[in-house]
Amino acid sequence: MNPTPILDDEHIAKILRGITVPPQPQVIVDIHMEQAMPNPDIHRIAKLISQDVGLSGTILKVVNSNLFGLKNRMASIEQAVQILGLQSIIRIMEGLSIKSEMDDETIVSLSRFWDSAMDIASVSATLARAIGYQAPDRAYCLGLFHNCGVPLLFRAHENYQAVLEESYAQPNPRVIDRENQYLKTNHAVVGYFVAKSWSLPPDLCEAIAEHHSVENIFRHRAQSYDHGRKTLLAILKMAEHICRVHLTLGNHGEDYEWQAIGPDLLAYVGLSELDFDDLTAQVESIGITGTGYYDH
């Protein structure tokens, strides 16, 4: 690999072009506080970055760019931070802070999105280990990014919260079908294009596009469907159910999507209902839901 490039203002401007998912203000503050310490801890900074959708996506976009010449697209935020180094990380953060100033109302409206993304990412990584999936970093990445289209729709449509809640309130049609009806687009499609703009690995981009279209994938056990991507989707949907995304984002008590796919999905990963209940209890007992913390 070539020596780490120095990111100047021109490179930073190019990197940030088109990045519209706002970073979480508190994470920016925490990173700045760590950076101001006499001996900043790059591992702590990596953990802080891994809690934020916008920052993580931008960091991966940088590392996966032609500037670094990596043979394979990277999905590990920890490794990406190590490659970039502290000074480049700080310069990127400064650019994002200037680019995405938000008013208090926007920050409040996105708080549930940020909390949900961190929780689902953490639980996805834990579930991946529990079922023997060999790349928990990839499961974490999908959990963090799968709803990255949500904040863009929040900013583009004043009625998006109401549309989102209506989408989760009924068993049919799919969540994204209701969004398409009102908005002529949906957060899975928008998320797919955001993920592509960040140069995430193709299987993660596809999983983001498909994460509300999984009923046929599991119910009919599509033989031609990629096994690795199907396992990633299974982990994500289990994590969403455990984290009650239908309540945190959709403000609805019933998880209709899980009711439709749960039995076939669990059969695919080799878990009984009792096994899944035990896994859920284990995750909840160690307090991983609600912490937003992920130990790389």
Domains of the chain by start residue, with CATH: 9-99 (no CATH), 104-285 (1.10.3210.10)
At a CB cut-off of 8 Å and minimum separation 6, what does 201 contact? 72, 73, 74, 75, 138
Tell me the whole-structure pTM to 2 decimals. 0.79
Residue 207 neighbours by CB under 8 Å, 6+ apart:
142, 146, 229, 232, 233, 236
Cα–Cα dist 17/42, whole Å: 26
Output the CA–CA distances (angstroms, integers) from residue 122 to 70, 74, 191, 219, 254, in the order listed: 27, 19, 19, 26, 22
What DSSP state is assigned to residue 296?
-
pLDDT higher than 90, residue 99:
no
| Per-residue model confidence as pLDDT tens digits over 183-237 | 999 999 999 988 888 888 999 999 999 999 998 888 765 567 788 899 999 999 9
Q: Measure the CA–CA gap between 181 and 257, rounded to whole angstroms.
A: 18
Q: What percent of the chain has pLDDT over 70?
A: 83
Pick from 96, 205, 100: nearest CA to 148:
205
User: How many whole angstroms separate alpha carbon 238 and alpha carbon 264?
Assistant: 12
What is the spatial distance between Cα 232 and Cα 140, in angstroms, rounded to a whole number?
A: 10
At 294, the pLDDT band (50, 70, 90 cuts) reads: very low
CA 278 → CA 134, 271, 275, distances in Å?
A: 21, 10, 5
Mark 2-15 as b/e (b = at least 16 C-beta within 10 Å).
Answer: eeeeebeeebbeeb
Q: What is the mean pLDDT of the chain?
A: 84
pLDDT at 90: 79
